[in-house]
Structure formats: C-alpha cells, structure tokens
Amino acid sequence: MGNLRRDPLSARAVTDRPAGRRGQQIGRYWHRVPESKNLRGRPSVRTGGHAGRMTVDDTLLHLCTPAERAGYELAGEIAPPSLDEVGFVHLSTADQVALPAQRLFAGRTDLSLLVVDPAALAAAGVEVRWEPGVPGDPESMRFPHAYGAVPTSAIRAVLPYPPGPAGFTAPELPDLG
C-alpha cells in the first residue's frame, strides 16, 4: 500500500496511489475519475510523480493591487477585508481569475497575481473549500476560498497581470518546480 498523507484541499488522510491505480481514493475505495478532476469537481492536487513541484493544476491565485500587496508583505499574511466580512480569502484558479479581475478591476493595468501553494496552506492549517462564486458566475464553477489568513510563506511567485486588448484572460503560469 502507499504512504499515508493529508490531501491539502480536503485535509483528509489518503494514501499515495499504488502503482497502476487510476482515479481517486475516497475512504477505502478507489473511484475512476479523469486525471484533471477529482470527485468533488475541482482540479486535482497532484503530488505523486512531481517530486514536490507545483503544476498549473494545483496552483491557487490571489488577485491584488500594489497597495494590497505591500500591506500583505508588511503583515506577513494575506488577510484582506473579506476575511473579516465573509470569513475567507478569495482565491481562484488560472481558468477562473479573469472573472473577478474583469468584474472588480476593469481598466486597471497594475494588478498582480500571488501564486499560492495549496500544500503550504494545508501545512499552515488553513482550510480551503471549493464553493460557488457570486450570482452571475457559471453555476457549475466552484472557487477556492481559504478559511483563514494565508501566510506569505505560502506565496510561491508574484506575477504581473495586465489586461489584454479585450480585457483580462486566463494567465500563462510558469512552471514553479
């Protein structure tokens, strides 16, 4: 059998996938699911075979302005007003981040994407839940929400995020391995 570890997104104890197994283990049973998704309908966090490297599939992003970023660096954590207002820090995947960027920051050219490592969040005890966005977002889309301040030690990169001619689009993320 494989080694016991914690799934960074659900905080469940799971075993590494034995050789030849495909799918995801939920409890004692293995379920066949496409490699790009798990049973909860969110991107898989793939740790096996990557030797601790982050991939686009397991990257979380936090969108911020230069002033917000400076405040986070001084505080040592990402703790925007939403943490007090709704109890979580808004995060996105690369495929999702254009939606809130266009809705909240249309016309701005100075935004940054903070690339957050979900394994570092789990190690810091910050729970990430995948939940619906705001009215108007696609019904099937679930956004990652960090229930607690995100430590700056979980930030793996800071990327500029300027809009293109038609507005914001999905960013191209570098390999952070």
CATH number at residue 142: 3.20.170.20
Give 22-63 pLDDT, tens digit per residue.
444 444 444 443 333 333 444 433 333 333 444 445 789 999
Dihedral of the alpha carbons of 32, 35, 9, 151, in degrees to the nearest 10? 170
Provide the residue type at 174 as one letter.
P
Give 4-17 pLDDT, tens digit per residue.
555 444 444 444 44
Residue 36: how many other CB atoms lie within 10 Å:
9
Sequence-distant (6+) residues with CB within 8 A of 110 are 65, 66, 162
Q: Is residue 51 part of a domain?
A: no
- The number of folded domains in the chain is 1
Q: Tokens for 1? A: 């059998």
Q: Is residue 165 part of a domain?
A: no
DSSP single-letter state for residue 138: -
Q: Is residue 49 part of a domain?
A: no
Q: Which residues make beta-bridge pairs with 31? A: 24
Q: Considering only CA atoms, which of 62, 109, 110 is closest in space to residue 82?
A: 62
Give 86-106 pLDDT, tens digit per residue.
999 999 999 999 999 999 999
Structural domain range at position 105: 57-160
Output the pLDDT for position 139: 81
Q: Is residue 105 part of a domain?
A: yes
Strands of 19-134, DSSP E = 24-26, 29-31, 60-64, 77-78, 89-90, 112-116, 127-132
Q: Is residue 155 part of a domain?
A: yes
Q: Considering only CA atoms, which of 116, 44, 39, 42 is closest in space to residue 77?
A: 116
Q: Is residue 13 part of a domain?
A: no
Per-position b or e across 6-16, b if 16+ CB within 10 A of its CB: ebbbbeeebee
Q: 89 or 133: which carries more pLDDT confidence?
A: 89
Q: Considering only CA atoms, which of 137, 150, 134, 127 is closest in space to residue 12?
A: 127
Q: 55 or 67: which carries more pLDDT confidence?
A: 67
Tell if the pTM clears 0.85, that is, is over it: no
Provide the residue type at 95 as one letter.
D
Q: Is residue 128 part of a domain?
A: yes
Q: Is residue 7 part of a domain?
A: no
